[in-house]
Amino acid sequence: MNRRSEKTLEEQLRLREKILGLGETSFRKSYYPELRVRLLELERFRFILDQISVGIIIIDPKTDTIVDLNQETCHLLKKQQKELRNMQLRGNPDNSVAWYARVQESDEGMVIIDNLPSDNGEPMALEITMHHAIFGGEEYRIAIIRDITRQRSAERTLIRTKDMFESVIRISSIQHAPEDDILSAALREAAALTQSSDAYCAILSPDESFFSISSSFDEIPAMERLSRADKNGPWERVIREGIPIIGENPEGMYLPISEGERVVAVISLKGKERPYDEFDLRVATYLGESLWQILLRRRAEEKLRELNEQLEERVFERTHELATLNNELEAFTYSVSHDLRAPLRSINGFSLAIQEDYGDELSGEAVEYLGRIRSASERMGTLIDDLLLLSRISRAELRRQEFSLSDLAHEVINEIQEQEPREHATVTIEEGIVVSADRGLMRSVLWNLLSNAWKFTSRKDSPEISFYSQKDGEKTTYIISDNGDGFDMAYEKKLFLPFSRLHTTDEFPGTGIGLATTARIIQKHHGEIHAEGKIGVGATFYFTLGTKEVTEYE
């Protein structure tokens, strides 16, 4: 004993107890606890099977009897467990199992049973599939029953919704038809969508005194098309209250079509075999409202089309008038200018002849008068030339070519210098400006603008004239500025009108046509021109030249 402690001895005693079978877990082998666990598992599985919303039936194929089933099966087949268990299925007259023969005959092992009575009145649909299974060495048939009522109803809703949209698309794509045809086509669609025999539409007149009636079938005789709106029928009630009527009349449904707050029409449907339901109402309302929108749009389009036609006609007429007037004016201008030249030449020629042949006989005063006649007739000649140029420009064809506008400006300024020499004038011309334009016409432009500048700087001690360009992106602006007498900006627009002069001829000579011609040339180039100025400070003219491409499209 000396080797063993007290504790070891206690351990030995405990071990001895256990060996003798007196330990806590010294139990004899028993299958009961294990069986109980397995049974609980099975019961739990059975519980789970009873919770699922699918009916399951196990059938013995040898005897065609139900071996087992879950709770949902009872619910779906409206039977008690004890009624179904061991039920013989082959040839059973009971309606709730009539599917058995059908599902066995079907190739895919599946049948769908429709229109079964149900608790809430909605017809019920079941899908039953048959499977084969081998369990514990025995063969069984497993029937799976699913309630597909909601699925089918959803499918139906989907199909009807699709039909509804297709109807609306069909109605809205009717073209070149009278409104009446569209109305009866829409009513036929509404009748088809709701399985009705007839459909009517009563559109309220704007003063709300009568209805205009259309129907889904034959045209209503004109006599009966209008109905007073002060009776007290269902249409009036719907108009008044703005809410639909379903089922009061067992075969009819009335529904309002509103435009904003106002009820504008009533659609009524008749002759459906079953009572009208919410879905019929939704379909018909959607169709009706779409129809109304289609009608409104058509009316607006019709009005717009009429207005457009009128407008085009007026524009054509006015354009024609203007063209005629323009031609007449140009012809007039040309002939007048041309015809005026002969008498003018006579006046000038004979005035010169008198001066030369009879100058000595005439008094100094008479000679001076003759001089005035001559200078007036010469001015008039110039005026006529300018007018001819202006009218020619209007009719002339534009011939674009690339050339140096800088060189042209030098050329022009030299000519001006020759005609009207001046000592203290500073002319600055930017070199290398190349443009694509009509060289002859551009010469007139530069001539007009530079001679103007030359002219209006004549009273300055140190006149300055410059020609340059400014590039802004694609657009180039050409600028001619001077430090001459300038002008009042209030008259800027008048500058470019023919015969408008801001100065007297005595102050500065000129015909008043030069700037109008210039503007016309720039216009012909699809460019723009404007001027800035201040009295006593100077004037600046800005112009652009349209591109070649634009011109070609002309």
Partner 1 sequence: MGGAGTQAYRHLLIIGMYAPGTIPFSHNCFQFPAIHRDAGIGEVEVMTGDTLRKFVMPEVIFGEGARRQAVHYLDNLGVAHVLIVTDPGVIRAGWASEIVSAAESEGISATIFSQVSENPRTTEVDAGTGMYRDNGCDGILAIGGGSPMDCAKGIAILSTNGGIIQHYEGVDQIRHMGPPLICIPTTAGSSADVSQFAIITEEEKARKFGIISKTIIPDVSLVDPDLLSTLPERFIAYCGFDALTHAIEAYVSTGSSSLTDLHSLEAIRMITAALPIAYRERDNREAARLMMLGSLHAGLAFSNASLGLIHAMAHPISGLYDLPHGEANSLLLPAVIRYNYPFAQERYDTIGEILGLSSADRNPFGADAIISRLKELAGEVGITGTLGDRGVLMKDIPVLSDNAVLDGCIVTNPHLPTGEEVRQLYESAL
Q: Where do contacts with partner 1 occur on this chain (CB under 8 A)?
A: 1-4, 6, 9-10, 12-13, 15-16, 18-31, 34
Quick one: 26 or 310, whose CB is closer to partner 1? 26
**Cβ neighbours of residue 148 closer than 8 Å, sequence gap 6 or more:** 112, 125, 126, 127
Q: Which two tokens stand for residue 492?
A: 């800027």
Query: Least distance (Å) from partner 1 to the CB of residue 36?
Result: 13
Q: Which is it for strands 252-259 and 245-246: parallel, antiparallel or unpaired? A: antiparallel
Alpha-carbon span 273 to 251, nearest angstrom: 8
Q: Would you mind telling me the total number of residues written for the chain in this entry?
A: 554
Closest by CA position to 484, among listed 446, 449, 534: 534
Short-list 47, 52, 48, 42, CA closest to 144: 52
Between 2 and 504, CB nearer to partner 1: 2
Question: What sign does the CA torsion over 182, 185, 187, 193 have?
Answer: negative
Minimum Å gap between C-beta 68 and partner 1 is 20
CB of 134 to partner 1, least distance (A): 15
Of 10 and 219, nearer to partner 1 (C-beta) is 10
CB of 40 vs partner 1, minimal distance in Å = 15
Residue with Cβ nearer partner 1 (23 or 117): 23
Q: Is 454 exposed, middle or buried (0-12, 13-18, 19+ CB in 10 A)?
A: buried
Residue showing tokens 């720039």: 522
Q: What is the SS3 assignment for 189? A: helix
CA distances (Å), 371 to each of 357, 363, 374, 396, 420, in order?
14, 12, 5, 36, 21
Instruction: Select 35 or 304, whichever has its Cβ closest to partner 1.
Output: 35
Smallest gap from residue 33 Cβ to partner 1 (A)? 8
Instruction: Tell me whether residue 24 or residue 418 sits nearer to partner 1 (CB atom).
Output: 24
CB of 137 to partner 1, least distance (A): 9
The answer to whether the CB of 269 falls within 8 A of the CB of 253 is yes
CA angle 505, 509, 515 (to 5 degrees): 105
> Least distance (Å) from partner 1 to the CB of residue 32?
10
CB of 58 to partner 1, least distance (A): 21
Would you say 187 and 201 are in contact if contact means Cβ atoms under 8 Å apart? yes
Nearest to 509 by CA among 454, 470, 437: 454
Burial of 334 (0-12, 13-18, 19+ CB in 10 A): middle
Rank residues 31 and 553 by Cβ distance to partner 1 and give the closer one.
31
Give the number of other CB atoms < 10 A from CB of residue 185.
Answer: 17
Helix (H, G, I), strand (E, B), or coil: what is residue 526? Answer: coil
Tell me which residue of 83, 25, 93 sits closest to 57, measured CA to CA: 83
User: Judging by beta carbons within 10 Å of its beta carbon (0-12, 13-18, 19+), is residue 145 exposed, middle or buried?
Assistant: buried
Q: Which is nearer to partner 1, 30 or 173 (CB)?
A: 30
Structure-token pair, residue 260: 């904003």
Residue labelled with tokens 């092992």: 109
Minimum distance, C-beta of residue 7 to partner 1, in the bound complex (Å): 10
- For residue 10, the minimal CB distance to partner 1 (Å) is 8
* Closer by beta carbon to partner 1, 20 or else 490: 20
> In the bound complex, what is the minimum distance in angstroms from residue 62's beta carbon to partner 1?
19
Please give the Cα distance from 479 to 471 (Å, whole number): 11
Q: How far is the CB of 48 from partner 1 (least distance, A)?
A: 25
By beta-carbon proximity to partner 1, the closer residue of 38 and 297 is 38
Least distance (Å) from partner 1 to the CB of residue 45?
Answer: 20
Cβ closer to partner 1: 35 or 550?
Answer: 35
> Which C-beta is closer to partner 1: that of 23 or that of 343?
23
Please give the Cα distance from 90 to 63 (Å, whole number). 9
Query: Residue 55: which of 6, 121, 116 has the closest Cα?
Result: 116
Residue 72 tokens, joined = 């949902």
Per DSSP, 420 falls in state S
Nearer to partner 1, 10 or 321 (CB): 10
- Residue number with CB closer to partner 1 (3 or 274): 3
Kindly state the smallest distance separating residue 86's Cβ from partner 1, in Å.
25
Strands (E), 184-250: 198-204, 210-215, 226-228, 245-246
381: Cα separation from own chain's centroid:
61
